[in-house]
């Protein structure tokens, strides 16, 4: 359920972006939003002359209650209440009991967030808080909101509604199946009707990510680490119903990292990456910095850092070229083969 207290502090353009249908609510109440985008609810009504508000009987508090009810009714009608539009992290404390260094962090779908910090700093604890949909009942005292509201318990206890899909560093298949059979089985468990096209697409996308190609009939136990990771990323992006994806140290996967992120974003997932790789950290829209179990700051990637990223990517392509030539038995001294 969306609450009026949360809506009151949201910007008008954020409300419209998350709930496009509210445009009709504003029009029906004669509210011109032409210049209201960056304003909060109260800020918008401050721009309307008090005499005009009285003449039109505009009561901001009453309208806010009506808007809240309208959004909740529409979400139920459209059956969108279970879809994730945004994830909000409200601050708690670090291991020493000090307050975390941010006000709130709102993450929207198709956004990449990197998580950086020393080993043991608390990156896994952050993931745990998100998975558990914390309500100030974990050691960090953080609170997690879904779609700008306190979520119901189904996100905690329902096996069918898994909020986070985690891709860990180590993936070992033990099933005696081919890659195609493995994806087919997963699609069947999701009750996908037309599975053949979906399975084919997942395998194609996986091969775009993998450093070395594999065929549909390749046993999954024979896949390399990079191939396994590529298959799971493609499978998670396309087939998983979890709206949030956490990737742990994708830099060690032996795959095309940029293509992997683009694939996940194309499927409108929220992507969280725990990484020590500066290329991946700067690919993110923002990065969470963790120390001593707490979030010390949230940094937005600047244009200047994007320029540095371009240089790092160029070096990364050179390294990848050398790696490929070594794999294929070429000398790094001789000119590359055409």
Name the one residue in this structure whose structure tokens are 């940029």. 258
pLDDT in tens, 8-30: 888 888 888 888 888 888 888 88
CB 194 within 8 A of CB 188: no
Compute how many other C-beta atoms are within 10 angstroms of the C-beta atom of residue 269.
23
- What's the average model confidence in pLDDT over 259-277? 85
| Residues listed for the chain | 338
Q: What are the boundaries of each domain within the chain? A: 4-78, 109-121+152-301
Find out if CATH 3.40.50.300 is the number for domain 109-121+152-301: yes
> What are 204's two structure tokens?
């194609």
The three-point CA angle 123-288-131 to 5° equals 50
Starting at the edge strand found earlier in the chain, the sheet holding 294-300 runs 164-167, 244-248, 270-274, 112-116, 286-291, 294-300
pLDDT in tens, 192-249: 777 889 999 999 999 998 878 899 999 998 888 888 888 988 998 898 878 888 887 6
Q: Measure the CA–CA gap between 47 and 38, rounded to whole angstroms.
A: 12
Residue 199: predicted pLDDT: 93
Torsion, Cα of 136, 137, 139, 145 (10° steps)? -40
State how far the alpha carbon of 86 is from the alpha carbons of 101, 231, 268, 316, in Å: 21, 27, 11, 32
pLDDT in tens, 26-69: 888 888 877 777 888 888 888 888 888 788 888 888 888 888 88
The radius of gyration of the chain's CA atoms, rounded to the nearest angstrom, is 23
With residue 48 as reference, give the H or E element that holds it: none
């Amino acid at each position: 359920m969306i609450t009026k207290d949360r809506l009151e502090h949201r910007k008008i353009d954020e409300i419209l972006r998350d709930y496009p249908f509210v445009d009709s609510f504003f029009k029906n109440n004669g509210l011109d939003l032409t210049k209201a985008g960056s304003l909060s609810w109260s800020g918008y009504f401050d721009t309307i002359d008090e005499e005009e508000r009285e003449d039109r009987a505009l009561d901001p508090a009453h309208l806010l209650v009506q808007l809240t009810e309208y959004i909740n009714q529409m979400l139920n009608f459209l059956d969108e209440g279970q879809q994730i539009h945004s994830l909000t992290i409200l601050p708690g404390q670090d291991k020493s009991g000090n307050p975390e260094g941010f006000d709130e962090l709102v993450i929207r779908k198709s956004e990449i967030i990197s998580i950086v910090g020393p080993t043991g700093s608390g990156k896994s604890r952050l993931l745990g808080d998100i998975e558990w949909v914390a309500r100030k009942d974990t050691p960090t005292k953080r609170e997690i909101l879904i779609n700008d509201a306190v979520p119901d318990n189904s996100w905690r206890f329902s096996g069918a509604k898994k909020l986070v899909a985690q891709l860990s560093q180590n993936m070992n298949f033990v099933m005696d199946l081919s890659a195609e059979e493995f994806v087919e089985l997963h699609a069947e468990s999701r009750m996908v009707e037309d599975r053949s096209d979906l399975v084919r697409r997942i395998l194609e996308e996986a091969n775009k990510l993998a450093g070395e190609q594999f065929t549909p009939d390749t046993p999954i136990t024979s896949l390399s680490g990079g191939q396994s990771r590529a298959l799971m990323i493609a499978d998670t992006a396309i087939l998983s119903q979890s709206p949030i994806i956490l990737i742990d140290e994708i830099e060690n996967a032996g795959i095309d990292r940029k293509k992997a992120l683009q694939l996940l974003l194309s499927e409108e997932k929220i992507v969280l990456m725990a990484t020590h790789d500066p290329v991946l950290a700067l690919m993110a829209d923002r990065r969470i910095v963790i120390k001593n179990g707490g979030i010390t700051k949230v940094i937005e990637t600047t244009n200047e850092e994007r320029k540095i990223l371009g240089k790092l990517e160029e070096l990364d392509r050179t390294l990848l070229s050398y790696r490929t030539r070594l794999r294929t038995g070429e000398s790094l001294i001789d000119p590359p083969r055409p």
